[in-house]
A and B are shown apart, each in its own frame.
Chain A
Amino acid sequence: MGIMDTQLSSVTEWLASGVRMAIPLLFAAYGGLLTERSGIANIALEAYLLMSSYTAAAVMAITHNLYLAISAGMLAAVLTAGIFGFLTVKVKADQIVAGMAVNILVMGILPVTSNALFSVSGQTPTLSLNERIEQTWPFVAIGILLIFVTHWMFAKTRLGLRIWAAGENPDALAAQGVLPKSVRWKAVLLGGLVTSIGGIYLSIGAGSGYTRNMSAGRGYIALAALIFGKWKPIPTAIGCLLFGLADALQMILQSVSIFADGSPLPTQFVQMIPYVLTILVLAGFVGKVSAPKSLNTP
């Protein structure tokens, strides 16, 4: 193999790896997009991801039934979204505080249940190869479909229009006889459902079972991608790909020799890349923020 070929193959490898890394981000970011467009600031995406990835893996380990596992993973995230929705939509708690509470709640629940079920704290038994969804393409396909469906929903459908209005000016919606609360409920639950696919991918797609803190802050990185995409479907998807590629770069750089003695860059620095990118984006690197006007106002 010539040097050109090696370079080419490492580039395609990087791209492929970037797409794989972007999958959970995309689902989480779109879950966030749906929720935040309705005016609910959602930092509980991390909890949705953890909950769905854990539940899918746990049900898989017990029942060995893929469909049950996927359904359970979805249901778990929707229930988590239900708790978040109860706090933010129903009793109108501060949305950031509520999101934090749900995150902490889930972080507490998981070790307890895994201890009870499998006698290990914070993880599930390793799944064998045939208990996982080995291929990546179904997730990529669903992801691409999701991009277009979401775009279409906001452009063409009644639900999309109402979610948008609920996030911009809920009073205008109320004055037209539509309860902003009911619109927001739909958006929050739908957000949980969408995010759950990302969580399921983490534990029974890319991973072989749930490991402690499986999402590793992806819920927050997804939020950064959402802000990067200015709360619009297509730019948000591009943001997810960008963060996915940064994540992939980080993994590749860990094994590339940089220094004369053949040692790579210190991993601590390399692993920082996606998080540094997140901070840059959140610090207003992307210019004028165009958040939904009624975001984070109950």
Chain B
Amino acid sequence: MKIVFGLYEPDPGSAECGVYLNGRKSKIRNPQDAMNLGIGMVQQHFALVENLTALDNIILGQEPMKRFNVIDRAFAKNKLQGLVSESLKVPLEANVEDLQVGVHQRVELLKLLYRDSEILILDEPTAVLTPQEIDDLFSFLRDLRKEGKTVLIITHKLDELLALCDDVTVLRQGSVKAQLSRDQLTKEALVKAMTGRSIEKFIKPTFQPGAEALVIQNLTTSAGTEERLKEVCLSVRQGETVGIAGVEGNGQSTLVECLLGLTSYIGHIQFNGQPYPHKTKEIREVLNVGYVSEDRQTQSLWLSGTLEENCAIGFGNRLARYGVLSKSTLHHHAEEMLKGFDVKYDHLEQKISELSGGNQQKLVVARELKGRDPRFLLCCHPTRGVDVGAIELIHQRLVEFQKNQGAVLLISSELEELLSLSDRLLVMYQGRIVLEQTRENFDLKSIGSAMLGGQP
């Protein structure tokens, strides 16, 4: 898709291959070419300038002009008002940083409409949205379809495909595995095409949780921190998974930072009846807390390092002899650790950056679970942006860990994941826990509205 949008250039191939538009072969060398052809794309990571207004973000690159290089904002506003239906209302004068993620998405969509795009490409558009916002988005996309626009949506969520799409093309490892039209579209067929085998619906067995492991009482952070926590109380038992749902930016990262000793706080945290340490070194090395970070590329891995080296991160003291890490120790350690985690690699001295996201993530989970063997795992977005096969494996390993009386605090933006793994689910909104439900009482509707700050 990035080729279609002109961000990447395709490798030169034979004369017939290339991008065809309405039957004509089109040369797209950069995003400008694509936009001129009526192709627009919303990327998975929004391309917005945070401290500009929504309006400025929309017109950026195609500003209507008056004399002296002055932007005709009134004209742009008029044009947008003509385009915007009720379902796509955006406060145009507000700064983007003050708007919610769901609104960011609408700003991105407006960018495309403002440019009169006929083909709209959306890359994982629902990754950051709440269920209600997803519904809004889909009804809007259906409206667009009625108006004759072409919508191309990239997703790994099967329900979305079933709900929205006329045609589905399944890609796996760079080649087309299946093309399904509306009447052939079933969940089973899709899963089979995506994984090459069928995956049974994953139902988590229930375990009997043990004593309380992690207890957090009245956790509050000072005003200086960006996402403040306000009197957060929660507990995780041994052999229990507690999920935290919420729109990103409602205090989840601050909670993680507190538990890693990266932010100071008021309140009490206990682990197995003992006070929880404040220093990161003690938390990770003495208490041995496992941590799967929300962004594997910047926080969990050393991207220019090899697999072996990445497997050894955090275990330097344990693996070194007289301060020296020997090649064979690293090799042996990595080999041992990756067993059972199905990480696909050529050799262990390969650069980690050559691995797919799913394989990188499996390595991280292997390191934090098998390499570390913790009693408590702080697990953030464990399956963000990874394929179905990797999700299955990671979920299995998390459940195994819980079965062995491990405690898991799971933070995720994937509601489906939270619902299938959590024994209890908490919803965070503006730094507070606003809702708690146990597995048997999960109610998607009240969870969704609590995420947006409504009454459960």
Residues of chain A whose beta carbon lies under 8 Å from any beta carbon of chain B? 156-159, 161-162, 164-165, 168-169, 171-178, 293
Contacts and interface: CB of A to CB of B under 8 A. Distances in A.
A207 to B, nearest CB: 36
A173 B51 contact: no
B115 to A, nearest CB: 9
Given A156-B71, A157-B71, A159-B69, A177 B47 contact: no
A175 B50 contact: no
A173 B71 contact: no
Contacts of B7: 175
Closest 6 CB pairs of A and B: A176-B61, A177-B32, A172-B47, A175-B47, A157-B69, A168-B49
B21 interface: no
Chain B: interface size category: 20 to 34
B227 interface: no
A161 to B, nearest CB: 6
B446 interface: no
B31 A165 contact: no
Contacts, number: 64
B61 A168 contact: no
Contact of A157 (B48, B62, B68): B68
A165 B49 contact: yes
A158 B49 contact: no
Contact of B52 (A156, A159, A161): A161
Nearest to A153: B69
Given A158-B65, A168-B50, A174 B31 contact: yes
A156 B65 CA distance: 10
Given A157-B71, A177-B35, 19 more contacts: A158-B63, A158-B69, A161-B52, A161-B60, A161-B63, A161-B71, A164-B52, A165-B60, A168-B52, A169-B48, A172-B47, A172-B49, A174-B47, A175-B41, A175-B43, A176-B31, A176-B35, A176-B60, A177-B30
Contacts of B49: 164-165, 168-169, 172-173
Interface of B: 7, 30-32, 35, 41, 43, 47-52, 56-57, 60-63, 65, 68-71, 111
B70 A157 contact: yes
The A contact surface, by secondary structure, is helix
A178 B60 CA distance: 9
A171 B48 CA distance: 9
B70 A176 contact: no
A171 B47 contact: yes
Given A173-B61, A174-B31, A176-B111, A158 B47 contact: no
A139 B62 CA distance: 36
A123 B181 CA distance: 79
Given A158-B63, A172-B57, A165 B52 contact: yes
Nearest to A169: B49
Nearest to A156: B70
A172 B69 contact: no
A158 B71 CA distance: 6
Contacts of B69: 157-159
Nearest to B111: A176
18 contacts: A156-B70, A157-B70, A157-B71, A158-B63, A158-B69, A158-B71, A168-B49, A169-B48, A169-B49, A173-B61, A174-B31, A174-B47, A175-B7, A175-B47, A176-B35, A176-B60, A177-B31, A177-B35
B209 to A, nearest CB: 43
B159 to A, nearest CB: 28
B442 to A, nearest CB: 38
A173 B57 CA distance: 9
Nearest to A174: B31
B68 A162 contact: no
Nearest to A164: B52
Contact of A175 (B31, B52, B62, B71): B31
